[in-house]
Amino acid sequence: MASARTYSTGWVLFTSSLVLFATLCAAISEYAPGLSESYYEKTCPQAAAIVEKYVTKYLKKDSSFAGAFNRLQFHDCWVGGCDGSVLLNSTATNSAEREAHVNFGLRGINEVDEIKAALEYACPGVVSCADILIIAARDATVKAGGPWWPVALGRKDANESIDLLADGNLPFPVFNFSLLVDNFARKNFSAREMVVLSGAHTIGNTHCNGILPHLYNFTGSDNATDIDPALNKGFAAFLKKQCPQGNRTNTIFLDSTAGKFDNAYYKNVLAGRGIFITDATLIRDSLGKKIVTSFAKAKSTFFKEFADGMVKMGNLGVQTGSTGEVRKKCQFVN
C-alpha cells in the first residue's frame, strides 16, 4: 500500500508538472489561442505559396501595393479584430466598413478577391480571407525590402461589417500625439509600438484627402495659408502642388523612398517632411521625438520592432474554431 501511494503521489506531481509546463508555454506564446504557423499544413499546404505568387505579381505591376496590403491588415484588425470584415461589401440595409470616412481610398480589395479565387480553386472552403490579409501584408513588406516575420494562421471570417465601427476605432490622419497614444492603448499597444507601426508609412501612396488638413486647415480657418507650422516650408510648397486646395483624389507617395521599406520615414519626419498630421505630431512630444530619433538612427531596431508589432496586431480579436466562417468570396458572406 505504501508503494502504491508513492506511485500515485509521483504520478500526480508529474501530471501537475506537465499541466504547469503547458500553461507556461501558452502564457509565453506570441499567438492568440487557435492560431498556428502550420494551420494549413495538411488542408492546404500550398496556401502561402499561392498568396506570395499573387503579391509578387501585384508589386511588379505597382510597388505601392506594398503599402495597400499593410493598410488592409491594420484597418481590418483594428476594427473588431483580424476577421476580414474590412473586405465586405455594403448591403441594402447596412453600410460596411469600407464606406467609413477613415477608409477613404482603401485599395487591394479586388486583388485579395483574386487571391481568394485561386485558393478556392486549389483548396475549396479552407483558407479564410482574414488569413490572406495577414500573409499578404507580411509578403508585401518583405518584397519591398522590409523585415520578415512568422505568420500564425487559423482565423475565421466575420459575417458583418459596420462603417461606424471603423470610424470609431481607427485613428484619423488629423490625430495629435495624445490621441494616437490613447487610440493604440485601447488595443493594448504602447506609445513606442504606435510609433513603430506608424513606420508603415515608409511604403505606398495616399490620396490627398488625408493631407489637406495639414496644408490648408490646420487651425480650422480653411485657407491657403493655414499650414501646419511643423512642416518644412519647401516640402509644404511641394505638397500644395500635388494636392491643390479642395482636391481629395490626387495621389502622392508617402515618403522619399516609397517603393522601399526602410527607415527613411523617420528621417523625413525629423526633417519636417511628414505627410500627415499624425506623422508630424510624433516629434511634437518629447517621448515621440526620442523614439522617432532612435528608429531614424537604427534601421535594424525599427525592423525588429515593426515585425513584432505586426505579429501582435495579428492576434487582435481573432475568431477561430467554430466561430465565424470561411467565406467563398471575400466581399460577401456565405
**Backbone CA torsion sign across 217, 221, 223, 226:** negative
Total count of residues recorded for the chain: 334
Cβ proximity of 318 and 34 under 8 Å:
yes
Ligand-binding annotation for 285, yes or no, is no
Torsion-angle region of 278 (φ positive above 0: left; ψ -120 to 50: alpha; else: beta): alpha
Q: Residue 177 in 3-state DSSP?
A: helix
What's the gap between Cα 333 and its chain centre? 22
Burial 233-267 (b: 16+ CB within 10 A, else e): eebbeebbeebeeeeeeeebbbbebbbebbbbbbb
Which cell is 77 given? 484588425
Query: Does 128 belong to an annotated binding site?
Result: no
139 annotated to a ligand binding site: no
Within 10 angstroms of residue 24's Cβ, the number of other Cβ atoms is 10
Q: Take residue 299 and report the three cell numbers written for it.
A: 534601421
Q: Is 178 annotated as a binding residue?
A: no
Task: Kindly compute the dihedral angle of the four CA atoms of residues 252, 257, 262, 268, in this order, to the nearest 10 degrees.
Answer: -70
Phi-psi region of 224 (alpha: psi -120 to 50; beta: other; left: phi over 0): alpha
- Angle, CA 275 vertex, CA 270 and CA 281 arms, to 5°: 55
Has 214 been annotated as catalytic? Answer: no
The residue annotated as part of the active site, out of 75, 101, 207, 214, is 75
The annotation status of 97 as a binding-site residue, yes or no, is yes
81 assigned to a ligand binding site:
yes
Q: Is 29 annotated as a binding residue?
A: no
262 is in an annotated binding site: yes
Residue numbering of the annotated binding site for heme b: 201
Residue numbering of the annotated binding site: 76, 79, 81, 83, 85, 97, 171, 201-202, 255, 257, 262
- Catalytic site positions: 75
Residue numbering of the annotated binding site for substrate: 171
Residue numbering of the annotated binding site for Ca(2+): 76, 79, 81, 83, 85, 97, 202, 255, 257, 262
